[in-house]
Structure 1
Amino acid sequence: MFDLLSLSIFCIVSLAAYYVVYRYRNRRLYELAGRLPGHEKYSIFGSFWLMLSMPRQDYVPCVMDLIKDEQQVTKVWLFNKLMILTKDADFINKVFNMHQTYNKPDLFYKGFMTTKGLITLAGSEHKRHRKVLNKAFTSKMMQRLPDIFDDKSKKIIKNLCQVENCGEFELLEFIGPYSLETFGKSNLNYEIQYHKSDIFHAYDNYSSVAVDYLAYSMMGVSQSLISFTKLGQRIKDTFQKFDAYFDNVIKVNSQNNNNNNIGTDPTAIDILLDPNNGFTEEEIKDELIMMLLGAFETSTRIISMTLMMLGMHQDVQHKLIKEINDVYSTEEKDVKFTTDFLQKFPYLEMVLKETMRLFAVVPLVARETSEDVDINGYTIPKNTTILMSIYAMQRDEKYWGCDAHLFRPERLENGMEYPHAWAPFTGGSRICIGYRYAMLAMKVFLINFFRTYTVDCSQKFEDIKSEMTMTLNFLTGYKVSIHRK
């Protein structure tokens, strides 16, 4: 009994000593944190367990509830990690453009389960990868994409004949393959039948798997420790499909490279496989996973969301169809898609931007301070996570008016009064590398779609329910019905 009591006392004293030493070593952190407004009731264990027990559909609303309208930032603690929450457009824009907030926190991005891709890389390694891969997304490269998007969109739209006039169907089953086929053709020099393929299912599941793993990764639990669980098996199945697909991509392109088939305008896979660029096998695989993820999640979800919005708002759909018909009535019969030609559809761009405003595909974005930094009068300590709610910012009445919660593309007719309050592709030097690619892909698809079909959606706008995976996902699905014009 005495030994047990002694051991208990020793443990308590040791923990107390550790706490005192920890607080002393991090006294500046706590001093600066004490000056920041926030929620002390969520300190230490409170916010940690709150997040672990919270359903995914409550993540974004919880962040929105924590952010106070009367202040730019809100402090919370995640275990012993200081976090700053914000939806302020000026504050977020400065974070995007400061070198002290260039890196992303491992705390949140471990869930991707890749470490060598643009989304997760930090510092000089990220800058090296970004500089080299930018060559695949230059303005010159963009000029060759519309033909590819035109061909692939017409193929998918032709396949839609099997569901026309047949009631509502799930859009993702058709739009997902379009996103994969366009990127496969344009940047991987590789084509397969993507509809219901293994790689389609892998990406369809990846976001959900990654978020489910995030809670474990934040506690330091490795994938090997959960390998025998259902989640571990889902992770294994997903990455086996990734490996099989990208092994084939690399094999085909390596053979082409050996035969000197690389053109003067190298694609992303050409750049990654070029030995002069010095990418390791792990870096190549991780970059391919992340780039195709970006193409799949962005184009697939935004096109699907846009079609749903137009199905719910028939007046907007009629106005868009009129714009498309008017443009084609003045063009030659066989007019080709070009970047200049796509500029003739301003209302289409407004519709897309309004959809992305209401439904930020990446609703929460995180950065980490590399040193103490002053932003808008607040001193943010080193190693603080800044969690930015793009979703909340883009629905804030301060920037978008009293009808900010409604779908109204006309609000963008004269530009944006607060351009920094629209950031679906983030901003600064870490802005999405493929944002121009995504906009072109979405515009071409929607133009071709509405030259053939109209769309209806029985779901009500106010009944949409979403959840936070790696991207924003509609829990209520992406179901519409289509009718040939």
Structure 2
Amino acid sequence: MIDFGSFLIFCAVSCAAYYYVNREKNKKNFEIANKLPGINGLSLFESFYIILTTPRKEYINKVLSYVRDDVPLTRATFFNQTIILTKDADFINKVFNSPKTYNKPDLFYKGFMTTKGLITLAGSEHKRHRKVLNKAFTSKMMQRLPDIFDDKSKKIIKNLCQVENCGEFELLEFIGPYSLETFGKSNLNYEIQYHKSDIFHAYDKYSSVATDYLPYSMFGLAKNILSPTPLGKRIKDVFNKFNIYFDDVVKVNKENENNNFIENTAIDILLDPVNGFTDEEVKDELIMMLLGAFETSTRIISMVLMMVGMNKDVQHKIVTELNEVYNEDKDAAFSADFLMKFPYLEMVIKETMRLFAVVPMVARETSDEVEICGHVLPKNTTILISIYAMQREKKYWGDDADQFRPERFEDGVKNPHAWAPFTGGSRICIGYRYAMMAMKIFLINFFRTYEVNCKQKFDEIETEMTMTLNFLTGYKVSINRR
């Protein structure tokens, strides 16, 4: 049997050897990086300590504590890796649009535990997947969505009758199934009762599980190694539910491939032999796309309802806008053009997404030496981008940047690049138009039916950073019929 103390010594020596060999190998890159404005690097052991001891609700503040305000980027060294930290809108925009910062670093994205989906793929493979899957989100495909969103939102809103006039309740239990049902109907040719489904609970837990796994992935530990641990069992439970659900989706679609399913839905594209997706690619893409649909729509709709419930003047303006539009045409049908008639509601959504960036941090990696905003970044540099901090930066949003004020979007923003909840460039969220349409239609139907109230105060909201931004204090509101 291997002595545990000897094993620890072996691990320490191996890590140290890797650290110094890697540093010598990348000596040129370190010389370039040292010319960038920054802070002293963290030692190997400091890196370990920070990862393992920082509470999730402190992740954002911990990262931002290293970011300087007088320069557009801050260099740090973390685990022998050069990292650029930034919240500068112009710098971030150039990163999103440079072909040399197209890829995402394994250091942060291994935590998703999928390697063949759009969120984590790199280079030519990402471009191949993106090019083919774009067909599912064209303007033509979007035209068929309003009826689906309308039908599903009315179903969920009807279900809310069980909690009206009954005090506070948890929004996610209702909004989550809406997000899953709309994607299941619109892109998977698959319908079940999602509020009773294991897939709903799997996605509700996934971000938290992935965040807990992230430190282990940074140290190169595969998820299977953790199988005997409580975390390993949580991971296994989530992925077992994923596998059961997606196996059934694929089975149903293959059994009915001769039926008149709509062409170029996501599942149609993924299962078409012409596109050459492997079984692993199909499953990973489905996991990531449904995650995007679930996390974005579910959390933002819930956040919007809380913000409106706290601000009666905002709610009054929304209802006034709805009344004005529907007084002109009480039987109007949803369409992209019709949704343009609700500019104030859109401002409310945008302001909520500004304050609470659902994806608070994203990362890119340089594939070659590149100059951005007058600074030369070496190859293999990780760029950690704080969307959260940028969208609360006072130089872009004014002294009230930390307050909820939808009207700030009325006259345009000082820097259009400072609002990027869906990121930007060629890797912008593939379903951003889908998400905005789904949210608008749900909220229009909701506010035509209910008044929302939220006892919680804005300053009392506590957040934590999992793979997405989460309200630690919950998503509780009460509703009354209009």
Same fold (TM over 0.5): yes
Aligned pair partner of 1:267 in 258, 265, 268:
265
Following superposition of structure 1 onto structure 2, how do residues 421-436 of structure 1 map, counting pairs within 5 Å?
A: 421-436=418-433
Could you tell me how far 1:196 is from its partner in structure 2? Answer: 3.3
Provide the secondary structure at the position in 1 that maps to 2:340.
Answer: helix
Other-structure match for 1:380? 377
Find the aligned partners of 1:458 and 1:18 in 2 and give their Cα distance. Answer: 53
Aligned pair partner of 2:323 in 322, 325, 328:
325
- Report the CA distance shift for 1:483/1:378 in structure 2 as closer, same or farther (over 3 A): same
- Report the CA distance shift for 1:19/1:78 in structure 2 as closer, same or farther (over 3 A): closer
Question: What letter matches 1:152 in structure 2?
Answer: K
Q: TM-score, normalised by structure 1?
A: 0.95
- Maintained 8 Å contact 1:368/1:386: yes
Aligned pair partner of 2:468 in 462, 466, 471:
471
- Maintained 8 Å contact 1:47/1:76: no
Question: What letter matches 2:442 in structure 1?
Answer: F
Q: TM-score, normalised by structure 2?
A: 0.95
Other-structure match for 2:4? none
Question: What letter matches 2:151 in structure 1?
Answer: D
- Maintained 8 Å contact 1:358/1:391: yes
Provide the secondary structure at the position in 2 that maps to 1:195.
Answer: helix
Provide the secondary structure at the position in 1 that maps to 2:195.
Answer: coil
- Maintained 8 Å contact 1:44/1:77: no
Provide the secondary structure at the position in 2 that maps to 1:190.
Answer: coil
Could you tell me how far 1:316 is from its partner in structure 2? Answer: 0.6
Following superposition of structure 1 onto structure 2, how do residues 334-349 of structure 1 map, counting pairs within 5 Å?
A: 334-349=331-346
| 101-110 or 47-56, which deviates more | 47-56
Find the aligned partners of 1:15 and 1:156 in 2 and give their Cα distance. Answer: 53
Find the aligned partners of 1:26 and 1:123 in 2 and give their Cα distance. Answer: 22
Find the aligned partners of 1:20 and 1:107 in 2 and give their Cα distance. Answer: 18
Provide the secondary structure at the position in 2 that maps to 1:40.
Answer: coil
- Maintained 8 Å contact 1:47/1:77: no
Find the aligned partners of 1:426 and 1:379 in 2 and give their Cα distance. Answer: 22
Other-structure match for 2:246? 246
Could you tell me how far 1:16 is from its partner in structure 2? Answer: 8.5
Could you tell me how far 1:34 is from its partner in structure 2? Answer: 1.3
Question: What letter matches 2:293 in structure 1?
Answer: A
1:227 matched to 2:227: yes
Could you tell me how far 1:76 is from its partner in structure 2? Answer: 1.5
Could you tell me how far 1:21 is from its partner in structure 2? Answer: 5.0
Provide the secondary structure at the position in 2 that maps to 1:440.
Answer: helix
Provide the secondary structure at the position in 1 that maps to 2:65.
Answer: helix
| 33-42 or 381-390, which deviates more | 33-42
Task: For residues 438-484 of structure 1, give each alpha carbon's deviation from its aligned partner in whole angstroms, at most 9, with x where no partner exists.
Answer: 00000000000000001010100011100001100000000000010
- Report the CA distance shift for 1:141/1:22 in structure 2 as closer, same or farther (over 3 A): closer
1:93 matched to 2:90: no
- Maintained 8 Å contact 1:179/1:300: yes
- Maintained 8 Å contact 1:101/1:367: yes
Other-structure match for 2:289? 291
Q: Which runs of 5+ in 1 are unaligned?
A: 1-9
1:357 matched to 2:354: yes
Other-structure match for 1:207? 207
- Maintained 8 Å contact 1:464/1:476: yes
Find the aligned partners of 2:52 and 2:147 in 1 and give their Cα distance. Answer: 46
Provide the secondary structure at the position in 2 that maps to 1:365.
Answer: strand
Aligned pair partner of 2:386 in 389, 397, 403:
389
- Maintained 8 Å contact 2:366/2:378: yes
- Report the CA distance shift for 1:86/1:235 in structure 2 as closer, same or farther (over 3 A): same
Find the aligned partners of 1:38 and 1:233 in 2 and give their Cα distance. Answer: 40
Could you tell me how far 1:285 is from its partner in structure 2? Answer: 0.4
Question: What letter matches 2:450 in structure 1?
Answer: Y
Other-structure match for 1:115? 115
Question: What letter matches 1:92 in structure 2?
Answer: I
Question: What letter matches 1:409 in structure 2?
Answer: P
Could you tell me how far 1:30 is from its partner in structure 2? Answer: 1.7
Q: Which runs of 5+ in 2 are unaligned?
A: 1-9
- Maintained 8 Å contact 2:118/2:126: yes
- Maintained 8 Å contact 2:451/2:479: yes
Could you tell me how far 1:105 is from its partner in structure 2? Answer: 0.4
Could you tell me how far 1:48 is from its partner in structure 2? Answer: 3.7
Give aligned-pair identity as a percent.
Answer: 74
- Maintained 8 Å contact 1:465/1:474: yes
Other-structure match for 1:280? 278
1:418 matched to 2:394: no
- Maintained 8 Å contact 2:19/2:80: no
1:480 matched to 2:481: no
Find the aligned partners of 1:408 and 1:306 in 2 and give their Cα distance. Answer: 12
Could you tell me how far 1:281 is from its partner in structure 2? Answer: 0.5
Provide the secondary structure at the position in 2 that maps to 1:72.
Answer: coil
| C-alpha RMSD of the superposition | 1.8
Provide the secondary structure at the position in 2 that maps to 1:42.
Answer: coil
Other-structure match for 1:367? 364
Find the aligned partners of 1:216 and 1:391 in 2 and give their Cα distance. Answer: 25
Following superposition of structure 1 onto structure 2, how do residues 309-324 of structure 1 map, counting pairs within 5 Å?
A: 309-324=307-322
Could you tell me how far 1:49 is from its partner in structure 2? Answer: 2.0
Find the aligned partners of 2:397 and 2:432 in 1 and give their Cα distance. Answer: 23
- Maintained 8 Å contact 2:23/2:80: no
Find the aligned partners of 1:157 and 1:15 in 2 and give their Cα distance. Answer: 55
Find the aligned partners of 1:377 and 1:245 in 2 and give their Cα distance. Answer: 49
Could you tell me how far 1:32 is from its partner in structure 2? Answer: 1.2
- Maintained 8 Å contact 1:48/1:78: no
- Maintained 8 Å contact 1:168/1:480: yes
Could you tell me how far 1:18 is from its partner in structure 2? Answer: 7.1
| 155-164 or 67-76, which deviates more | 67-76
Could you tell me how far 1:385 is from its partner in structure 2? Answer: 0.4
Following superposition of structure 1 onto structure 2, how do residues 89-168 of structure 1 map, counting pairs within 5 Å?
A: 89-168=89-168
Other-structure match for 1:7? none
Provide the secondary structure at the position in 1 that maps to 2:379.
Answer: coil
- Report the CA distance shift for 1:14/1:476 in structure 2 as closer, same or farther (over 3 A): closer
- Report the CA distance shift for 1:246/1:12 in structure 2 as closer, same or farther (over 3 A): closer
Other-structure match for 2:31? 31
- Report the CA distance shift for 1:24/1:344 in structure 2 as closer, same or farther (over 3 A): same
- Maintained 8 Å contact 2:42/2:79: no
Could you tell me how far 1:24 is from its partner in structure 2? Answer: 3.2
Question: What letter matches 1:320 in structure 2?
Answer: I
Question: What letter matches 1:226 in structure 2?
Answer: L
- Report the CA distance shift for 1:329/1:217 in structure 2 as closer, same or farther (over 3 A): same
